[in-house]
Amino acid sequence: MPDRAPQKDIPLITTTDALARFCDGLTGERYITVDTEFLRETTYYPKLCLIQIAGSADASLIDPLAKGLNLAPFFALMADTRVLKVFHAARQDVEILINMNDAVPTPIFDTQIAAMVCGFGDQVGYEAIVRKLAGAQIDKSSQFTDWSRRPLTHKQLAYALSDVTHLRTVYEKLMAQIERESRSDWLEGELEDLANPASYRVDPEQSWRRIKARIQNKKQQAALMAVAAWRERQAQEKDVPRGRILKDDAVGEIAIQVPQTRDALLQLRLLPRGSADSVIGKGILEAVAQGLARDPATIPSPKGRGDEMSSSQEAAAEILKLALKIVSERDGIAPKLIASSADIDAIAIDDNANVPALQGWRRDIFGDVALDLKHGRAAITMDKGRVQIVKR
């Protein structure tokens, strides 16, 4: 239902000429804030529905679905190295822009990563960081609306514009804290990964890693790898969600049962009815056959087998997880940014593990401490009700 109260007009760009004028006006800015609205429920690749941009004074919305609109001026602005592009939780936005223009906005800054560096927790949401740093409350009721429908309501437009206007304050306050606490080096490596186009490419041959299945041997592992890669390619070619081809649990069941005939497919409980006699069934059987034909030397050991930790290593990992919590609270930085669970396990097993937690600034604040604890050169103690790590 349209709003009936008098409302301030919200700028919405629908022509190429207007877009060019707006982008030209931003070329002298030190930084701009950027966000997008998109849909991906029915497609493999996200569908761009709206672009939000704000400079130091001007802010506007761009309608990429407007008939005849050419986004070339926008992509030129994204490539302008003189202007910093500030996003919050940038990966999905950047993924869309790469799919459309094959380039990452440069240079780029992510306030979610900066917030982690400043101790606001793992993957802090935009609403929470705006409330803490800008003192503003965002009406999220439009967040999950259908952004592809036209016309967009005033409420939708107002919500979308607030995503970039409040982001200016968030960026400036985070940068002030980072500079005050000399944490620019901590942030730099994370932003480098964000700006790397390779980190957005989906390799079908690696898609099996996201599927949880109780794989027990290399035969099942080979089937898992082949069927998952086949499903990923099918989803990409048809531009549909992976689950439209096969659900994850169906891929896992196929890997465990390793069906090689139509009759074997018919016995699978999680395979949709009729699939065995369709192109889906044919594709599954071909993928399984290809997996079984692989050189066993090229098939990694199934997850959780052949690399079990000893009881002492498991105990060390638990101690290091506590140490990570202590260090992150002490230094005001999100634990996830310092070390992952995989990093912790790797350090518990190997002093020279090739993990980020044993490199650069992470080693300075945590890696060396972790090794000292592992070898008894440090201990976790209580002092006046506070947990701390002390040298022995």
Q: Which of 179-193, 239-253, 303-317 has the lowest mean pLDDT?
A: 303-317
Report the alpha-carbon distance of residue 376 to residue 295 in Å, rounded: 44
Backbone angles phi, psi at 25, to 5 degrees: -70, -15
**How far is residue 2's CA from residue 274's CA, in Å, rounded to a whole number?**
46
Q: Give the helix ranges, DSSP H, for 246-334.
A: 248-257, 262-266, 279-292, 311-331
Domain membership flag for residue 305: no
Determine contact, residues 357/367, Cβ cutoff 8 Å: yes
Are 158 and 208 contained in the same domain? no
Each residue of 28-78: pLDDT tens digit?
999 999 999 999 999 999 999 999 999 998 999 999 999 999 999 999 999
Q: Which of residues 200, 215, 249 is at a domain's end?
A: 200
Q: 121-155 burial by CB neighbour count: b if 16+ within 10 A, else e?
A: beebbbbebbeebbeeebeeebeeeebeeeebeeb
pLDDT (0 to 100) of residue 8: 67
- pLDDT tens-digit series, residues 357-383: 999 999 999 999 999 999 999 999 988
Q: How many domains does the chain have?
A: 3
Residue 383: per-residue pLDDT: 83
Residue 117: the pLDDT is 93
In a domain, 94, yes or no: yes
Tokens describing residue 183: 């944490």
DSSP 53-75: EE-SS-EEEE-TTSTT---HHHH
Q: What is the DSSP string of 194-224?
A: HT-GGGG---GGGGGGG------SHHHHHHH
**179 lies in a domain?**
yes
Q: For position 75, what pLDDT does the model report?
A: 98
Q: Which two tokens stand for residue 121?
A: 């927790």
- Listed residues 176, 200, 224: the one ending a domain: 200
Pick left, alpha or beta for residue 153 (phi over 0 → left; psi -120 to 50 → alpha; otherwise beta). beta
| pLDDT value at 17 more than 70 | yes
Share of residues in the chain with pLDDT > 70 (%): 96
- In angstroms, rounded to a whole number, what is the distance separating the alpha carbons of residues 191 and 31? 16
Q: Provide φ and ψ at 301, rounded to 5°.
A: -65, 145
Q: How far apart are CA 262 and CA 282, in angstroms?
A: 8
pLDDT band at 186 (very low <50, low <70, confident <90, very high): confident
Residues 185 and 245 in one domain: no
Confidence of residue 1 (pLDDT cuts 50, 70, 90): very low
Residue 62, domain member (yes or no): yes
DSSP-derived pairing of the beta strands 378-383 and 386-391:
antiparallel
Identify whether residues 279 and 349 lie together within a single domain.
no
Greatest C-alpha distance within the chain: 70
Average pLDDT over residues 119-133: 90
Check residue 2 and give its pLDDT: 45
- Domain of 226 in residue numbering reads as 204-298
Q: Which of 271, 298, 325 is the last residue of a domain?
A: 298
The confidence score (pLDDT) of residue 305 equals 43
Residue 2 falls within a domain, yes or no?
no
Average pLDDT over residues 151-179: 95
Taking the C-alpha atoms of 226, 232, 237 and 238 in order, what is their torsion angle to the nearest 10 degrees? 120
Running DSSP on this structure, what letter comes out for residue 296? G
CATH number at residue 275: 1.10.150.80
Chain segment 320-352, per-residue pLDDT in tens: 999 999 999 999 999 999 999 999 999 999 999
pLDDT at residue 4 greater than cutoff 60? no
pLDDT at position 386, please? Answer: 87
pLDDT-derived band at 193 (thresholds 50, 70, 90) equals confident
Structural domain contains residue 303: no
Q: What predicted TM-score, i.e. pTM, was given to this entire model?
A: 0.86
Give the CA distances from residue 335 to residues 118, 313, 390, in Å, rounded to whole numbers and listed in that order: 11, 21, 20
